Amino acid sequence: MLSDLIEGEEHLVGAGILATSLLGDPRATLAGRPRLDHVAWGIAGACGTLAISLLYALVLGLRLDWEWQAPAPTVVLGLAVLPAVVEEWLCRGVLWAACRRLTTTGSTIVITAVLFGLMHVLAWGPFGFPSRALGGLVLGLLRARTNSLVPCLLAHLLNNTAAACIES
pTM passes above 0.85: no
Task: Give the span between the Cα atoms of 28 and 20, in whole angstroms.
Answer: 9
* Domain spans in the chain, listed from the N-terminal domain onward: 36-167
Query: Per-residue pLDDT for the chain (168 aa), expressed as one digit of tens each?
Result: 444 444 444 455 555 555 555 555 555 556 666 677 777 777 777 777 777 777 776 776 666 565 656 667 777 777 788 888 888 988 998 889 889 989 999 999 999 999 999 988 877 788 888 888 999 999 999 999 988 888 898 899 888 888 777 754
Contact 148, 31 (CB under 8 A): yes
Q: Which of 109, 137, 118, 121 is closest to 51 using CA atoms?
A: 137
Summary count for the chain: helices (H), strands (E):
8, 2
Contact 139, 152 (CB under 8 A): yes
